[in-house]
Amino acid sequence: MTITAKIRRQGGATVFSVPPALLKMLGAEVGTELTLAVSDGSLVATPRKPKKRYTLAELLEGADEMATLGEEAKAWQGGRRTGNEIF
């Protein structure tokens, strides 16, 4: 699909319009951030993937295993020294 767009000045910026059909093909919408690059004299626009937002439940996943590991580590602290450890 080839579409012609005219570059124009709007305020202090230089802009051109992207038709809805092209936005749909890009998987983009109003507000989507694009990475712009020039390749062989052509402008290439790639939608940026948003950073993953984690829920609290996702962040705490595995916390129980870490608590168990911490309890096991406490047992090591009271043991007899067997080498040249410096504490």
Alpha-carbon distance of 34 to 47, in angstroms, equals 4
Q: pLDDT truncated to tens, each residue of the chain (87 aa)?
A: 788 889 999 999 999 998 898 889 888 889 899 999 999 999 998 998 877 888 988 888 877 777 777 777 777 777 677 777 776
Beta bridge partners of 36: 45
Residue 10 sits at φ, ψ, to 5 deg, of -135, 105
pLDDT score for 7: 93
Alpha-carbon distance of 27 to 23, in angstroms, equals 6
Whole-prediction pTM:
0.49
pLDDT score for 87: 63
Q: What residue has token string 């998987």?
A: 27
Q: Which CATH class is domain 8-47?
A: mainly beta
Domain ranges within the chain, ordered by starting residue: 8-47
Look at residues 29, 35, 26, 5 and name the one whose alpha carbon lies nearest to residue 17: 5
